[in-house]
Structure 1
Amino acid sequence: MADLSLVEIEKLISQHPDFPKPGILFRDVFPVLRDPHAFKSMMNHLLKHIRELYCQDGNKVDVVVGLDSRGFLFAPLLALELGAAFVPVRKKGKLPGETSSLSYTLEYGTAEFEIQNESIKAGQRVIVVDDLLATGGTMSAGCQLVQKTGGTVLEAMVIIELVDLKGADKVTSCAPVFSLFKY
């Protein structure tokens, strides 16, 4: 069965006005995940992009980082298909062992991310994955943590980017941004 086009996949992304608070239009990717053919097609579009840009001429992606928590839905699947390691970046206090941490600003406060120190080796080529890019604080922090461990961030990859919030501006100092869908 042929993959669905990006247009066909995007039609499955639902919209929820005034969620989680008045004035917000929430874009929900979960309907795509409920449709196995659409989910596989979406993942294949992401894989094609990565392979065309980063897996040519003997190069490969060494690590796919997933950001807590919805990045965990996509990053391990990409890592498996690429023959790469999966590494989680979690909220502070969720990872055992020695960790590095970084505080970052959200729309409504601050948070802190951690990565296990031994999870990425110096010079490894890394893709950082999350479901959504809004103001850029979460993705920027994830990319900075990868750099802190010595990894080279090839790209920050998201399913949905809310372009009016200009989050990519905050991330591009660390890595180029790739968004499957832009709103």
Structure 2
Amino acid sequence: MPGKTHFLIFDTEGGPCGIAWTAAGVVRFQLPGDDAATTCRLLLRHLPEAEAADPPPAIAETVAAVKRYFAGEQADFSKVPLDLAGQSAFFRAIYDAARRVHWGETTTYGTIARDLGAGPEMAREVGQAMAKNPVALIIPCHRVLAAGGKVGGFSAPGGASSKLKMLALEGISFEQPEPAQQSFGF
């Protein structure tokens, strides 16, 4: 990672989030935790050298977008500069593909694998990349589902429940449809 790493813990309607950045861009994002101390601990677990700081303009804009997102307003993170220097080229390609999945849309691990020219057997690797996503929400791994449109896992605090809440903010529901009117057998 180029230069120093800085971080900020900030409140949203979903709870306290954390963001860490270098001169190159966002290096880590922490989804809401139970409290600011927990969020900070989770963020710094991966970046013990990071120092608290006021954000530069691009990071401040990202923080404002995150606040809008957790208030239920549409937010686009596709142009947020990222520092993914520690990631493999394959993971970076997966993350680029995931960033093209916009608000209110979903895709599957298999679809991303296919779009990258890999066979369906690579869906598992796509899932591994999503599980290791260092900037969840900014790279919208919550929009990437398992086969058949099933929710699948989510490695953020709250697990799949958090994924469902984030998707609900975007108008995506996984409620079961009401059963069709039953026939009387006539």
Asked if TM exceeds 0.5, the reply is: no
Structure with greater Cα Rg? 2
Q: TM-score, normalised by structure 2?
A: 0.29
Greater strand proportion: 1
